[in-house]
Amino acid sequence: MKQRIIFNLLLFVVASISSMAYAETIQPKVFNIKTYGAIGDGVAMETEAVQKTIDACHDAGGGVVWVPAGDFQIGTIILRSNVTLSLDYGASLLGSTKLADYPTDKLSRAREGGPHCLIYAENAKNITIEGLGVIDGRGTHENFPRKGGTNSGVRPRLMRLESCEDLTFSGVTYKRPAFWGLHLIDCKNIHFDAVTLRFRNNNFNNDGLDLDGCENVLIENCDLSAGDDAICLKSSLNPCRNIVVRGCRADSNTAAVKFGSSSRGGFIDISITNCHFHDCPMGAIKLQSVDGGRLENITISRIVMKDVGNPIFLRLGNRNSSFGVRSERGQRADDASENVFTGTLKNVRISDLVAEVTVEDREKAMEAVYRSIKMETAPYVTDKEKGRAGPIMITGIPGHSIENVVLENVKISYPGHGTEEDAKRVVAEDEDRYPEQFFFGVLPAWGAYIRHAKNVEFKNVELTLRGDDARQKIVLDDVQDFVNH
């Protein structure tokens, strides 16, 4: 009996020592922003208190910056390495509505757009933003109009992270950016999990996730409602590479998924699967290489789309913008004739996709009040509306073909409305124009329009009409080796 008691005491001591060691070595240090002067009444400016907390956390070797329940109004804050910004349920970081609270003296020049942003980091590692709270930019068109106003037309992004590594975004709801939402440039090792975006009908250019030149990215279980493109991959200099999107819902006034228009670096090895895209009147999936980059090895599968415009748009063009990046000789790349070249778009596979293409509801279009859209009173579907609810479009340019595209197990329903005049339309090349499908106008096909392409295969692709249409189902122009079976 005595031996058993001694043995149990030893077990207790060992367990206690192990628990103490775990607490000392595993549990992160927690830094409460209220300890550093934050109030949380939604009126006081808390930028200094929040920044002091972040700096103290970083200087101590890292830990958790705790944002308890409350409304904390801030201007620009700078995240640092080994910091977890953790927001409790009921906690809100509220962006200031005054431009003076967004200084740029400690921020690098942005490659696209202005430098102003609410949350910033550069050359930092191991940053996490987590919790059940809200980060609200309050960037409405009233507070930050695109032109004029008290803020002189300047519109801060919600977030800009440059050249950072090991980034985690989990659980937080992001709302109302004045410009782009979460903008990551040349970052690596990124995980978005259960993130919610609520940007729609707020202001111009409210992209959701803008990933420019990022590598090793997983986006999963997210619910994204954007004013502009919901998931937008950009490559103003470096390629987007090794990216997986899965289990996400997305809606947008423009596209659910877009590669480009910034496409100089390219997009390589990207997978999108098991997603629901809805209410995207300007198109759902847009894959675009127009600035000389390689767009290759893309797999899209298990997609359900409802109430979308142009369902699939693949565009190889020759706009050749450099986004201010200079060549080795110091010239702007788009000013140096030796640097002008056309990229590639090939090896794309889209499978197990179901879509319903619709003409945008006119009353719903007016919900974006910042755009001052007037109700269209025409009793018929206009050319503009038809152009946005058009067919699959796959188009390169003369001498540069899109190659190796497979659509398999695809079922798309279209609204119709095409006339005999529409069937005779000649489609402009527009080699160097900004790439949007509806810029090409009403196409002469209702199901698929394919031009300047090689090795395109439709395998078990079902394209159907819900109304009358005088156009052909599929139109091919300068296409080699098209297979439809």
pLDDT digits (tens, 9 = 90+) for 245-299: 999 999 999 999 999 999 999 999 999 999 999 999 999 999 999 999 999 999 9
List, in sequence order, the alpha helices (H) in 74-171.
Answer: none
pLDDT at 333: 44
Is pLDDT larger for residue 210 or for residue 15? 210
End-to-end CA distance of the chain: 80
Q: What's the token pair of residue 81? A: 């390495």
Q: What is the DSSP letter of 341?
A: -
**34-61 pLDDT, tens per residue?**
999 999 999 999 999 999 999 999 999 9
Q: Compute the distance between CA of residue 320 and CA of residue 469 in angstroms, rounded to an integer.
A: 37
Q: What's the token pair of residue 210? A: 């803008």
**119-157 pLDDT, tens per residue?**
999 999 999 999 999 999 999 999 999 998 999 999 999
Q: Compute the distance between CA of residue 282 and CA of residue 385 in angstroms, rounded to an integer.
A: 9
Q: Are 251 and 201 in contact (CB under 8 A)?
A: no
Q: Are 137 and 175 in contact (CB under 8 A)?
A: yes
Domains of the chain: 27-145+154-203 (2.160.20.10), 207-323+340-484 (2.160.20.10)
**193-225 pLDDT, tens per residue?**
999 999 999 999 999 999 999 999 999 999 999
pLDDT at 324: 61
Residues near 29 by Cβ (< 8 Å), separated by ≥ 6?
57, 60, 61, 62, 63, 64
Q: What is the DSSP letter of 332?
A: B
Q: Compute the distance between CA of residue 15 and CA of residue 94 in angstroms, rounded to an integer.
A: 44
Q: Are 463 and 437 in contact (CB under 8 A)?
A: no
For 33, the 3-state DSSP assignment is: helix
Residue 91 has pLDDT above 70, yes or no: yes
**309-344 pLDDT, tens per residue?**
999 999 999 999 887 664 433 334 444 444 557 999
**460-469 pLDDT, tens per residue?**
999 999 999 9
- Tokens 């090896």 belong to 347
pLDDT band at 371 (very low <50, low <70, confident <90, very high): confident
Q: What's the token pair of residue 64? A: 């958790």
Q: Compute the distance between CA of residue 167 and CA of residue 162 in angstroms, rounded to an integer.
A: 11
Type of residue at 239: P
Q: Are 144 and 100 in contact (CB under 8 A)?
A: no
Q: What is the DSSP string of 268-315?
A: EEEEEEEEEEEEETT-SEEEEE-SS-EEEEEEEEEEEEEEESS-EEEE
pLDDT at 21: 46
Q: Are 444 and 390 in contact (CB under 8 A)?
A: no
Rounded to two decimals, the pTM is 0.92
**Cα dihedral 40, 45, 47, 49 sign:** negative
332, with CB counted inside 10 A (0-12, 13-18, 19+), is middle
Mean pLDDT of 15-30: 60
**336-366 pLDDT, tens per residue?**
444 557 999 999 999 999 999 999 999 888 8
Instruction: State which H helix or E strand residue 11 sits in.
Output: helix 2-25
Q: Compute the distance between CA of residue 449 and CA of residue 442 in angstroms, rounded to an integer.
A: 11
CB-based burial, 387-418: b 16+ in 10 Å, e otherwise: bbbbbbbbbbbeebbbbbbbbeebebebbbbb
Q: Compute the distance between CA of residue 46 and CA of residue 179 in angstroms, rounded to an integer.
A: 22
Residue 5 has pLDDT above 70, yes or no: no
Q: Compute the distance between CA of residue 369 and CA of residue 422 in angstroms, rounded to an integer.
A: 32
Residue 397 has pLDDT above 50, yes or no: yes
